[in-house]
Amino acid sequence: MAPECRKKKSEDATFLADLRDHFDEFIHASMDEHKECFKKTMKKLFGMSKAVAEKNSESTGIESVLPLQTSVSK
């Protein structure tokens, strides 16, 4: 298995052929390859979630202001 985890070998492969190939790669990968792929996947996931959080914090930085309504009771 490549250090960048798994990539499709053929774009023309059927779903089952691709799944069979993926399963074969997974079974024959060393523990070090599994660990490296897991680390890269986690970094990618946390990087994406951090980017989304930063984008959301930028877009929600503007607060809406509602006029204060008062009522006088007699």
> What total number of domains does the chain contain?
1
Owning domain of residue 41: 31-60
**Residue 5: inside a domain, yes or no?**
no
Per-residue pLDDT of the chain (74 residues; tens, 9 = 90+): 344 677 777 888 899 999 999 999 999 999 999 999 999 989 888 888 877 777 777 665 555 566 667 777 77
Prediction pTM value? 0.53
The CA–CA distances, whole Å, from 15 to 6, 8, 28, 39 equal: 15, 11, 20, 26
**Residue 72: inside a domain, yes or no?**
no
**Residue 69: inside a domain, yes or no?**
no
- Please calculate the CA angle 46-34-21 and round it to the nearest 5 degrees: 110
Quote the CA–CA distance of 7 and 40 in Å, as a whole number: 14
**Residue 44: inside a domain, yes or no?**
yes
